[in-house]
Amino acid sequence: MAKIVVIGGSGLIGSKVVAKLTEHGHDAVPASPNSGVNTITGEGLADVLRGADVVVDVSNSPSFAPDDVMEFFTTSTNNLVAASREAGVGHYVALTIVGTDRPNDIDYFAAKAAQEKLIRESGIPYSLVHATQFFEFIGGIAAVSGKNEGIHLPNNLMQPIAAEDVATAVARTAAGAPLNADVEIAGPEVMGLDELVRRGLAFRGDPREVVTDPEAPYFGARMQERTLMPVEGVQVFDTTLDEWLPANPPRD
Task: Express each pLDDT in 209-226 by its tens digit.
Answer: 999 998 888 777 777 778
**pLDDT tens digit sequence for 15-43:** 999 999 999 999 999 999 999 999 999 99
Three-state helix/strand/coil letters over the chain: CCEEEEECCCCHHHHHHHHHHHHCCCEEEEECHHHCCCCCCCCCHHHHHCCCCEEEECCCCCCCCHHHHHHHHHHHHHHHHHHHHHHCCCEEEEEEECCCCCCECCHHHHHHHHHHHHHHCCCCCEEEEEECCEHHHHHHHHHHCEECCEEEECCCEECCECHHHHHHHHHHHHHCCCCCEEEEEECCCCEEHHHHHHHHHHHCCCCCEEEECCCCCECCECECCCCCCCCCCCEECCCCHHHHHHHCCCCC
Rounded Cα gap, residues 179 and 240, in angstroms: 28
Distance CA 69, CA 56 (A): 19
With beta carbons less than 8 A apart as the criterion, state whether 155 and 192 touch: yes
Residues 6+ apart with CB under 8 A from 24: 171, 175
Task: Read off the pLDDT band of 147 (50, 70, 90).
Answer: low
pTM of the model: 0.94
Asked whether residue 252 is domain-assigned, the answer is no
For 216, the domain range is 3-247
Average per-residue pLDDT for the chain: 93
40 domain-assigned: yes
Read off the pLDDT of residues 71-87 as tens digits, 9 standing for 90 and up.
999 999 999 999 999 99
Residue 44 placed within a domain: yes
**More confident site: 131 or 217:** 131
Residue 148 pLDDT > 80, yes or no? Answer: no
| Cβ-contact 179, 22 below 8 angstroms | no
Instruction: Pick the more confident residue, 223 or 70.
Output: 70
Q: Tell me, yes or no, whether 36 lies in a domain.
A: yes
Q: How many domains does the chain have?
A: 1
Cβ(92)–Cβ(84) below 8 Å: yes
The answer to whether 153 touches 210, Cβ cutoff 8 Å, is: yes
Task: Establish if 15 belongs to a structural domain.
Answer: yes
Tens of pLDDT, residue by residue over 185-205, are: 999 999 999 999 999 999 999
Which CATH number characterizes residue 177's domain? 3.40.50.720
Is 234 buried (19+), middle (13-18) or exposed (0-12) by CB count in 10 A?
Answer: middle
Task: Tell me if 218 is assigned to some domain.
Answer: yes
- 104 pLDDT tier (thresholds 50, 70, 90): confident
Residue 123 lies inside a defined structural domain of this protein: yes
